[in-house]
A and B are shown apart, each in its own frame.
Chain A
Amino acid sequence: MKARHPFVEITRTKASLPFTHSENLMSTQEPPQSPELSEEIEREFSEISKSAVDAIDSTQDPASLEAARVATLGMKGSVTRLFERIPKLDKSLRRAFGQRANALRAHIEARHEARKVALDREALDRELKGPKLDVTLPGRRAALGHRHPVSRTLDDVSAIFLELGFDVAEGPEIELDDYNFEALNIPADHPARDMQDTFWVAPESLGAHDAGALDGKTVVLRTHTSPVQIRTMLAHAPPIRIIAPGKVYRCDSDVTHTPMFHQVEGLLVDKGVTFAELKGTLDAFVRSLFGASTRTRFRPSYFPFTEPSAEVDISCVHCGGKGCRICKQTGWLEILGAGMVHPNVFRAVGYDPSEVSGFAFGLGVERIAMLRYGVDDLRSFFENDARFLEQF
């Protein structure tokens, strides 16, 4: 076993060692012969030396080299056996014979080492010049899993608003009508309720077996993330700056509607917040998500919980606004609704609309994911076909 050296020394000395060392050994001359030994013995040494060197130098592979080593330097090897004769020699010859045998052994060992180095080098040369791997063969690996495109989009959208200083707020998905509609200025029997087909929760499934248990309240699956606005404002005094990402439900299922989808609600309430800040915030969001050249268009619209209300279009991400199949030749894509918080909503949560103002917005995550990833069938998000999922 080689000694382990600090790295520095290895590179400085040992790296070049195999070459210089072997060259030295190759050029080592046989030591001068001892005059005291008889010619016969000298001849014998010479013969053993010659045959050992021949045996070692003629080897072509590590196995035969090892065989040659055993035959010469091994326990029963020709060189080793010389030492067995020493006790039987005349005392006067022992010293000279011993020196001579040691010298021979050193010589043969050196030849063996030189041959070993030479053979290794040849083998490496052959290997380095040998056939190449097919580096184009596929690697060995497990399949990488994928995140759902909607969850990726939710993260992307949230990340932007977190950067804008919004916090994430949450609320229940099984929601009281009071939060989902009433507090948001959508009274019962108002045609605005047609805008959102609602899932109603069976009261008995909540354990309410008599009419009084719910105190006349109805329970729905939230139709939008807007009730989180109400819950947040009820729990906190202004200023407020939140987004509420999550699932929402509408009783509608066709080519362009799924009964469950995702929204990100946003709410900013403070003193002196104006429509200009609403535009600025959504412009910044849209530019960050869809690219700096994306333009927005705010169109007057109607939501019961905002006044003024706006639908927000972005210039088509596909054609840049020239008109194409994706934007139905209009150059615009509708992606979210927004507006200034309605004074009635502030009153419902105990804020004074003459003191604070604010804006709210809600965007459909699937819509954005469809644009972002070029998905043309909304339903594929919830079919979860493996061939779809593996694309993201």
Chain B
Amino acid sequence: MKISLNWLSDYVDLPETPEALAALITMAGLEVEGIEQLGQGLDGVVVARILESAPHPSAEKLSVNQVDVGTGERLQIVCGAKNFAVGDLVPLATIGAALPNGIEIKQAALRGVASFGMLCSARELGISDDHAGLLILDPSLKLGMPIADALGLGDTVFEVNVTPNRGDCLSHIGIAREVAALTGRPLKIPKIAITESAGLATDTLLDVRIDAPERCRRYAARIAEGVRIGPSPLWMQNRLRAVGVRPISNAVDVTNFVMFECGQPLHAFDFDKVAGGQIVVRLAKPNERMTTLDGKERVLAAGDDLCICDATAPSALAGVMGGGVSEISDATTRVLIEAAWFEPGAIRRTARRHALHSESSHRFERGIDPEMLLFAQDRTAQLLAELAGAKILPGRVDRYPRPFVARHFDLHLDTPSRTLGMPVERGLVKKTLSALGFGLSDDGRETVEVTIPSWRPDVEGEADCVEELARTMGYDKIPARLPCGVQELPDRTASLRADAMNRLRAALAAAGLDEVINYSFVDAAALAHFTPDVKPICLRNAIAADMSAMATSRLPGLVNNLKHSLNRQVEAVRLYEIGRVYVPELPANLATAPMRDALKVSSERQMLSGLVFGPRAPLQWAQATGASDFYDLKGAIELVLSALNLRNVRFESTQRCDLHPRSACALMAGDVHLGLMGELHPTVATAFDVPRGVYLFELDLDALLAAANPIPRARPIPRYPAVLRDLAIVVDAAAPAADVEAAIRTTSELVESVTLFDVFRGGSIQEDKKSLAFAIRYRDRAQTLTDEQVNAAHQAILTRLGERFGAELR
């Protein structure tokens, strides 16, 4: 629901800023979903007086006017409207103004006559649909005054999300009551003074009968005579527009105004169209029909739709929508003002049945205040008298078959403390509930009797009282405590290690690697092949000589696992191990340092190590298989990297005594060294008595997990099509394919992906050259690519590759 702060401030003094008010009521349960500033976009539009007006020399429909904006200077304005006279005050959009409809005012010549601005209609100012002519302003306004001030357009409007239980807050007074309770400031309800005319008493002209009292607790009617239908004054129009209601006429606007003021939906009937001077509130009869205000004929649900009928037929669908017959028209002079209370559930059924969700049904569904009803009716009468010259007939008809009886319940004063888990002083309980309009018996007992105010049908008992207290105090005052027996949890974003580990192991399994667990103590001589520079930590009482040194690498163990399998006719061996490597690291102050320093004598790093050997896939009828090579191992590692969402890892050639120099390489993520991979060095293979063609890797697990991005950031799916182009080039045999690929990727922003799909040497290619073939996918995220764009990008890539790698198109 929209709430105008100008309007709201009539009933309660508001906090300093709209933001402070929004925070206050949001934290009390009335969520402010949006804040809108009205009267924006009218800078440069001012009040001007027409000093002279002459016909345009060459355009019949235009006039040339001299206007004064209070500066003494005369401005010449060409205008197309006719509805003004010399001396009128009108809005002038001066040069530089930008109107709400997007028009920017510039100095212009209209059919040869210079114009220094634009005189505006109401529609051009964005305040109504009226475009019949200029908006003629109140003659008392000061010249040059900004139009937003002159018209009172400056306002702040809140979009408040009122939950279905708080029907009482669907009005400005309802919200003001909350603000008053929350701030301790007084609520200012307008005083009503009606001067009743000396005519016939209302009850002599009108008879009201309620045939369905279970559906209509109360029905009150007043009659206003001599109503002069016309537009309502600007202040009322502004308020209605601010809350999103289109002004129609004074009689209709007044009923809407009062509904938004106090929450009571009202209906105005043209009393001359109410046959027989009679109102009957009854359930629809079988096959009964009526035409509602929207012009639709509706078949009423017998026995469930409640209608307001005159002596002959239904005249309104109670609480939902009026009928066409008794609609207020320009000819209306006598108005019947209905204020009633209808049963919420039934109103909801009717509204849904007829798909008629109105401001009125919305409020009746949520339950309105039966005690506010007469106030609303009198307020309507008062405004009709003031704004439409109406005479209010003496008295009213008020049928109240089921009078409101205040509901009570017992509140134990300790209940709030016990529910909220914090001490709540009894004095505060009483004070808060009183401020919200609850009545409390005060006899000093543990339990008080609480009287529920008439506007709070949602409140049932103690639990509701606790909520009232909690929301008024602020939920932030309630402590946060873990339930009994629950421990604080680790921060999963800081250590997503477990998640990353699961993904890593799943990827290793997907790559066909079996996990092994080897003893941490191995043969020192075996370690020397892999880590010749590290002296291992040794045991004094080893089980065997070859189980005496703590591993400085897990690779010897894996090579021995391979050898074991090969000796037992296992052909394909693919293994990984997660385990630590141990290096002595004796702190200098070991002897003197205290225990609490968490002393350590070794550096222990967790390594992910692995090995592949033999056929890359099991023997299979449909698929040929070969021996695993470097690229099979690399594929397995790439699976792990992709599972960890680790992009841009570089494979760089390196030198290692345990790896064949042909394929030894280091894995780098930025500057971080992640580990090594390659073929087991032939001399080490000989030393271990295993065949050639063993491929190994050893990665630092902590570095790997630290570099991982276990929570990827999604990229939007592209909307525009891609263009695929292949590029086959000849480059030096030694040029790393990844460098060429990176050059392609970075040359044009249109390159979405680059896939190497062929590497070829021999044939017609020079001996020291190789051919690389790439599939390049081009895409622009903002538009469909043209051939020209792709050609240009493709050519730019070729040129760049020529410069950097001496590449030639194959």
Q: Chain A residues in contact with chain B, CB under 8 A?
A: 2, 4-5, 7-8, 10-12, 14-15, 18, 124, 127-142, 144, 149, 156, 160, 163-165, 187-192, 194-195, 241, 268, 270, 272-277, 279-281, 283-285, 287-292, 296-302, 304, 307-311, 340, 342-344, 357, 372-377, 380, 385, 387-388, 391-392
Check if B480 sits within 8 Å of A302, measured CB to CB.
no
Q: Does B545 contact A (CB under 8 A)?
A: yes
Check if B466 sits within 8 Å of A307, measured CB to CB.
yes
Question: In the assembled complex, which residues on chain A have CB atoms less than 8 Å from the CB atom of B660?
Answer: 128
Check if B486 sits within 8 Å of A7, measured CB to CB.
no
A130-B662, A133-B663 known; A373 vs B689 contact (CB < 8 Å): no
What are 25 A-B pairs with beta-carbon distances under 8 A? A7-B523, A7-B526, A7-B689, A8-B523, A137-B756, A138-B635, A138-B638, A140-B634, A141-B636, A141-B639, A144-B642, A156-B492, A192-B164, A274-B422, A275-B421, A279-B478, A285-B489, A287-B489, A292-B494, A299-B31, A307-B466, A307-B467, A342-B463, A372-B711, A391-B712
Q: Which of B134-178 contact A (CB under 8 A)?
A: 163-166
CA of A187 to CA of B365 in the docked complex: distance in angstroms?
13
Q: Does B476 contact A (CB under 8 A)?
A: yes
Chain A nearest CB from B695 CB (Å) reads: 11
Chain B nearest CB from A159 CB (Å) reads: 8
Q: A135-B651, A136-B736, A195-B164 are in contact. List 9 more A-B contacts (CB 8 A).
A: A133-B630, A137-B634, A138-B756, A139-B635, A190-B345, A274-B420, A300-B27, A300-B28, A340-B419
Question: In the assembled complex, which residues on chain B have CB atoms less than 8 Å from the CB atom of A124?
Answer: 682-683
Q: Does B471 contact A (CB under 8 A)?
A: yes
Check if A291 sits within 8 Å of B662, measured CB to CB.
no
CA of A280 to CA of B255 in the docked complex: distance in angstroms?
48
What residue of chain B has the Cβ atom nearest to residue A8's Cβ? Answer: B546
What residue of chain A has the Cβ atom nearest to residue B652's Cβ? Answer: A135
CA of A127 to CA of B682 in the docked complex: distance in angstroms?
10
Question: In the assembled complex, which residues on chain A have CB atoms less than 8 Å from the CB atom of B809?
Answer: none
Q: Does B716 contact A (CB under 8 A)?
A: yes
A291-B493, A343-B463 known; A374 vs B346 contact (CB < 8 Å): no
Q: Which of B705-752 contact A (CB under 8 A)?
A: 711-718, 733-734, 736-739
What residue of chain A has the Cβ atom nearest to residue B164's Cβ? Answer: A191
CA of A48 to CA of B176 in the docked complex: distance in angstroms?
124
How many A-B residue pairs have C-beta atoms within 8 angstroms? Tell me.
Answer: 269
Check if A297 sits within 8 Å of B483, measured CB to CB.
no
Q: Does B560 contact A (CB under 8 A)?
A: yes
A276-B481, A372-B711, A373-B714 known; A137 vs B470 contact (CB < 8 Å): no
CA of A188 to CA of B365 in the docked complex: distance in angstroms?
12
Check if B712 sits within 8 Å of A132, measured CB to CB.
no
CA of A240 to CA of B425 in the docked complex: distance in angstroms?
31
Question: In the assembled complex, which residues on chain A have CB atoms less than 8 Å from the CB atom of B711?
Answer: 372-373
Question: In the assembled complex, which residues on chain B have CB atoms less than 8 Å from the CB atom of A343?
Answer: 461-463
A15-B687, A136-B651, A141-B635 known; A298 vs B663 contact (CB < 8 Å): no
CA of A309 to CA of B683 in the docked complex: distance in angstroms?
73
Chain B nearest CB from A203 CB (Å) reads: 20
Check if A163 sits within 8 Å of B489, measured CB to CB.
yes
Interface string of B475-495 (1 = CB under 8 A from A): 110111111111011111110
Check if A160 sits within 8 Å of B489, measured CB to CB.
yes
Check if B27 sits within 8 Å of A299, measured CB to CB.
yes
CA of A187 to CA of B348 in the docked complex: distance in angstroms?
12
CA of A272 to CA of B481 in the docked complex: distance in angstroms?
13
What residue of chain B has the Cβ atom nearest to residue A332's Cβ? Answer: B26
A307-B466, A340-B419 known; A276 vs B480 contact (CB < 8 Å): yes
Q: Which of B56-82 contact A (CB under 8 A)?
A: none
The 3 closest A-B pairs by CB, nearest first: A274-B421, A276-B421, A141-B635
Check if B480 sits within 8 Å of A280, measured CB to CB.
yes
What residue of chain A has the Cβ atom nearest to residue B716's Cβ? Answer: A376
CA of A289 to CA of B660 in the docked complex: distance in angstroms?
45
Check if A138 sits within 8 Å of B507, measured CB to CB.
no
Chain B nearest CB from A371 CB (Å) reads: 10
Count chain A CB atoms within 10 A of each CB in B346, B652, B713 and give the residue with the most: B713
A137-B756, A273-B483 known; A301 vs B713 contact (CB < 8 Å): no
Check if B29 sits within 8 Å of A128, measured CB to CB.
no
Check if A144 sits within 8 Å of B643, measured CB to CB.
yes
Check if A300 sits within 8 Å of B471, measured CB to CB.
yes
Question: In the assembled complex, which residues on chain B have CB atoms less than 8 Å from the CB atom of A137?
Answer: 631, 634, 737-738, 756, 759
Question: In the assembled complex, which residues on chain A have CB atoms less than 8 Å from the CB atom of B166?
Answer: 302
Count chain A CB atoms within 10 A of each CB in B483, B563, B718 and give the residue with the most: B483
Check if A149 sits within 8 Å of B26, measured CB to CB.
no
Chain A nearest CB from B54 CB (Å) reads: 52
Q: Does B637 contact A (CB under 8 A)?
A: yes
Q: Does B653 contact A (CB under 8 A)?
A: yes
Question: In the assembled complex, which residues on chain A have CB atoms less than 8 Å from the CB atom of B650?
Answer: 136
Check if A135 sits within 8 Å of B546, measured CB to CB.
no
What residue of chain A has the Cβ atom nearest to residue B483's Cβ? Answer: A277
Interface string of B632-658 (1 = CB under 8 A from A): 111111110011000000111100000
